[in-house]
Structures are given as C-alpha cells and as structure tokens.
Amino acid sequence: MSKFNRRAFLRLSSASVIGVTLGGISLRSYGAEQVDPEDPTAKALKYVHKSEVEGKNCANCTHLQAGDDPQWKPCALFPGKLVNKDGWCSAWMAKA
C-alpha cells in the first residue's frame, strides 16, 4: 500500500488548481494577437487598421468587445484576435 495521505493529496490538488487557473489567465492575455489585414477573413471584410470612412470605426461598432488594452480590443467577427479601435471593416454596424 502506498503512503499517500490526505494532506499530501490536498496539497497537490491545491497546487494543480492554482497552476491551471493562473496558466489560463496568462494564456488568455497573451494569446490574442492583432488582426492581420492580409488574413483571409480580414480581406473578405475589407478590414483596415485606420478607418477612411468618417464617423465609422471599430470604437463605435457594435461588434467591438471590452478589452484591457485602450487601443486594441477583441471583435466578435475575429475570434481570438484584436482589432484597432481606429480600424474599420465592411461589417461595421453602429452601436445602438
């Protein structure tokens, strides 16, 4: 029989939970990359980092989501990627 007791089990379990939680937070914050305008989806939606259409940009689009960075934010149209708040694409829709 092994000498693995409850205290050792709880210590190992706690360390595992903490590691997985902190690892997930790190991956989420560093996993997102900026949308490349040459990406096939970006090209199809005519995405640009700097809008040329006055009054229409990612900052006032309904697809833009909250994010930590003031300039680069997640977008519902580009899962796992960040768009420039000054950018624009053909799927732009005014916030209600």
Q: Is residue 92 part of a domain?
A: no
Give me the CATH number covering residue 75.
Answer: 4.10.490.10
How many Å is the maximal CA-CA distance in the chain?
A: 74
Residue 94 vs residue 6, higher pLDDT:
94
- The pLDDT of residue 26: 42
The structure's pTM equals: 0.67
Query: Tell me: the pLDDT tens digits for 25-78?
Result: 444 545 589 999 999 999 999 999 999 999 999 999 999 999 889 999 999 999
Q: Is residue 27 part of a domain?
A: no
- Cα separations (Å) of 22 from 16, 18, 32? 10, 6, 16
**Count of domains forming the chain:** 1
Q: Is residue 22 part of a domain?
A: no
Nearest to 84 by CA among 36, 30, 39, 31: 36
